[in-house]
Amino acid sequence: MTHKLNIIVGSTRPGRVGPIFANWFVEYARQHGKFDPVLVDIAEFNLPLFDEPKHPRLGQYENAHTKRWSQTISEGDAYVFVTPEYNSIIPAPLLNAITYLSTEWNYKPAGFLSYGGVSGGLRAVESAKPLLAALKVVPIPEGVPVPGYPQFLADGEFGPNELITNGATTMLDELDRWAGALKALRSQVKAAAAA
pLDDT in tens, 5-47: 999 999 999 999 999 999 999 999 999 999 999 999 999 999 9
Residues of the chain with pLDDT > 70, as a percent, come to 99
Question: 54-72: per-residue pLDDT in tens?
Answer: 999 999 999 999 999 999 9
Question: Which residues are 6's β-sheet partners?
Answer: 38, 79
- Would you state the pLDDT for residue 195? 81
Per-residue pLDDT, 5? 98
In degrees to the nearest 10, what's the CA dihedral of 87, 41, 126, 28?
Answer: -120
pLDDT (0 to 100) of residue 46: 95
Q: Answer whether residue 169 shows pLDDT above 90.
A: yes
Q: Which candidate, 176, 173, 112, places its Cα nearest to that of 144?
A: 112
Supply the mean pLDDT for the chain.
96
**Claim: this prediction has a pTM higher than 0.95:** yes
Q: What is the CA radius of gyration of the chain?
A: 16
Q: What is the mean pLDDT of residues 141-153?
A: 97
Q: Cα separation of 90 and 98, whole Å? A: 11
Confidence of residue 98 (pLDDT cuts 50, 70, 90): very high
> Is the pLDDT assigned to residue 125 strictly greater than 80?
yes
Is the predicted pLDDT of residue 1 greater than 80, yes or no?
Answer: no
